[in-house]
Amino acid sequence: MGMITDGLPGFLEPLPGGSAVLTKVDQLVNWSRSNSLWPLTFGTSCCAIEMMMASGAARHDISRFGAEVVRASPRQADLIIIAGTIVKRMAPRLRTLYEQMAEPRYVIATGSCTIAGGPFIYHSYTTIRGADEIIPVDVYVPGCPPRPEALFYGLLTLQKMIREGESLRHPGERRRPVLSALPEGMTIEDIQAEMRDLLVADANVKMSEELAEGAHWAQELKDF
């Protein structure tokens, strides 16, 4: 954050080895950005208390991930951690805070209410059904509320995205990490067949074993 790199691609590219230099500069800049995140907390509901305060406490210690410098001003932050329900009245304020943050800026949406409106989407006209309807979200951390470990996993995912992401040649274009993929040679049909076999196996019930498992209740009733 705060590094002026706009003129570097055009300046270094024509030089011998300029492409290799730019690649190394990309790695250095992205590494430094990923390990010095300055969050702007946006807590509107219970997730801010139950999850984010626990994450900053001594037991979990968010400072181990280089993201403990929480700022109250959006002009000094490059990461916003949204925690809690977003209502329509709050949406313009969230958009304003995001636009005032320093570039490049990142967003982590934590909790079911932030991601999809939570239980308040039913019979409610005030709740926004997801923060991504207002600003772009980089990492989603599900849960109600998410555990601190879940937030840390989201931070590690964001750091991986930053290290693999933007380049000086193409600023503003990000490559999100692929966290999971099917093993080579495996298809969706194979997974469905395995799931079907497990369901069929669980559907077979042996009455003798079921009665044996509940035999202690009969003994307890007899003793009672």
Per-residue pLDDT of 104-133, as tens digits, reads 888 999 888 888 888 888 878 888 888 888
The total number of residues shown for the chain amounts to 224
Domain that holds residue 50: 37-164
Q: Are residues 53 and 136 both part of a single domain?
A: yes
Amino acid 164: pLDDT: 77
Three-state secondary structure of 37-51: CCEEEEECCHHHHHH
- Looking at the structure of the chain, the number of domains it has is 2
Q: Are residues 160 and 192 both part of a single domain?
A: no
- Averaged pLDDT for residues 64-81: 82
Amino acid 23: pLDDT: 62
Start-end of H helices in 101-142:
112-116
Distance from CA of residue 134 to its chain's centroid?
17
1 has pLDDT over 50: no
Long-range CB contacts (within 8 A, 24+) of 67-75? 67/37, 67/38, 67/39, 67/155, 69/36, 69/38, 69/39, 70/38, 70/39, 70/40, 70/41, 71/38, 71/39, 71/40, 72/40, 73/40, 74/40, 74/98, 74/100, 74/101, 75/100, 75/101, 75/102
Instruction: Tell me the pLDDT band of 58, cut-offs 50, 70 and 90.
Output: confident
Q: Are residues 209 and 126 both part of a single domain?
A: no
Per-residue pLDDT of 163-216, as tens digits, reads 877 666 656 666 666 666 677 788 888 888 888 888 888 777 777 777 777 676
Which of residues 79 and 11 earns the better pLDDT score? Answer: 79
H or E element that contains 81:
strand 79-83
CATH classification at residue 41:
3.40.50.12280
22: burial class by Cβ within 10 Å (0-12, 13-18, 19+)? buried
Amino acid 194: pLDDT: 86
Mean pLDDT of the chain: 77
